[in-house]
Amino acid sequence: MLCSNCGKNSARNYVKLREGKKVELVLCPECYKRLYPERDEGDFFTQFLGNTGIKKSKACPNCGTRLSDYRKTGLLGCADCYATFREELTPTVRYIQWEVRHVGKRPTSNAEEKYDFVRTLVRERDVLLAKLDEAAAEGQHALVLSIQEELDRINQKLNEEEEE
């Protein structure tokens, strides 16, 4: 297989991440070094994950994602994965981001307090909307009206919550 850039030398496969997507490159080492001078040559998944002696059995206790899954997709399974694999991920993060310490904006609101309340209302609304479709399809006009009243009540509560 020849280099897709110079077309002369024999190529190797490289993987780069672009906006979260894996891009496969077929380049000779010379062209790779020239086109991507800021990186050492090599597949960083292999470089950083393949050689760290990761135990394949380790899985996120919350979602069950394993590091081998991450190596395949480039994606973690849930927020807890970062805590579970912090040690193993830190070199990868440093490689991708050059830094491992966030210095920007952080959440400030008291969202935790409102979250459960709003979520309960949204769940109730979803159930009522399904019932409304059913009642309308069956032509149960009285039921449709009472469900609509209930939905109005929930929407009003949601708006009140948001305005606070």
Partner 1 sequence: MRGSVIQTFESVAVSTRIRLARNFKDYPFPNLLMKSSHAEEMAEEITGLIAAELSRVDNFVLYRMKGLSDEAAAFLKERNLISRELILNRAVSAALVSEDEIISVMINEEDHIREQYFMKGFDLAKAYERVVGIDEAIADSIPFAFDEDFGYLTACPTNLGTGLRASVMLFLPAVSRRGIMRRVAADLTRSGLTVRGAYGEGSGTEGDLFQVSNEMTLGLSEEEILELVERAVSTMTEMEIRERERMKVEGGMALCDKLRRALGVLSNCCVLSEREFIERTADVKLGLALGILGCEQGGDAGMSALDDLLVAMRPANINRLSGEALSEEGQNEYRAQHVVHALSDLQLYY
- Tell me how far apart the alpha carbons of residues 63 and 76 are, in angstroms, rounded to a whole number: 10
- Tell me how far apart the alpha carbons of residues 3 and 29 are, in angstroms, rounded to a whole number: 9
Burial 31-48 (b: 16+ CB within 10 A, else e): bbeeeeeeeeeebbbebb
Which residues have C-beta within 8 Å of that of residue 68, sequence separation ≥ 6?
Answer: 56
Residues that bind partner 1 (CB under 8 A): 17-21, 23, 34-38, 63, 65, 73-79, 82-83, 86, 89, 92-93, 96-109, 111-112, 114-115, 117-119, 121-123, 125-126, 158-159, 161-163
Greatest alpha-carbon span in the chain: 78
Tell me the closest approach of the beta carbon of residue 134 to partner 1, in angstroms: 16
Tell me the closest approach of the beta carbon of residue 68 to partner 1, in angstroms: 14
Q: Give 113 or 149: the residue with its C-beta nearer to partner 1.
A: 113
Tell me the closest approach of the beta carbon of residue 140 to partner 1, in angstroms: 24
Q: Give 24 or 142: the residue with its C-beta nearer to partner 1.
A: 24
Tell me the closest approach of the beta carbon of residue 109 to partner 1, in angstroms: 5
